[in-house]
Amino acid sequence: MSTDPFAGFLLIRSDLNGLCKKLLEFPACNYWVHESVVSRFIGLPTNNQYGQSEALTALIACIKKSYGGNKRKKNQAFTGFNPIELQDENNESGVCFQHWGRKELFQRGTDSTVPLVRRPRWFKFGNGVIQEVGVQMDIVNQLVGNRVPDALNNDDPSIPVFAAKRRQKSHLKFYQGRDLECIPYRNYDVPAVAVKYLWMWPNIKLKSTTIRRRSFSPE
């Protein structure tokens, strides 16, 4: 398997400017976005050799140089933007990414026999993100009832077994707006998670020591 970041360039060459524009104009988010979601959203192509992850790698490489391809081979294409280093969180585009988490298996082309396994890229769009990826994943694990060590603290799982089972059964109902089917989750579990990460929202205070849905008071 090639380690050349431009290996999948021919996949994106014909629409390089359009794909760059979709990535750089991705809607602002208040959370880090996994690369697979980004790839699907901007519609990165695939073929029998390369998957969307490799197309994204090529796109990032092109954005870094403002072009891709080779003039001698007559396949050069330009992004239409000045060079941007997307791993620099302070770049002027408002878009950046970092590698975070355990290695994952990424889908390749249908004829590829060598697996692509690496740490995923997480993207930040805009200035609304107020937490690191590790904190974001800790919050997700708490809300869905995954009893795993915290990414930042590396301590024992802090979710009681009964609460974990309730969260696993209820979180989808809650986010689908089916509140009457998950009242304990709404009234007890979500507030319990919010209290654990209350330091992220200094304008929110607790009105009482009893943690319930109505225990919070914005200032």
Tens of pLDDT, residues 93-145: 999 999 999 999 999 998 988 999 999 999 999 988 778 999 999 999 999 99
What pLDDT is stored for residue 129 in this prediction? Answer: 78
What is the pLDDT, as a whole number, of residue 202? 79
The pair of three-digit structure tokens given for residue 113, joined into one six-digit string: 């026999």
Report d(CA 101, CA 88) in Å as an integer. Answer: 19
Give pTM, 2 decimals: 0.82
pLDDT of 218 higher than 60: no
Across the range 139-159, mean pLDDT stands at 74
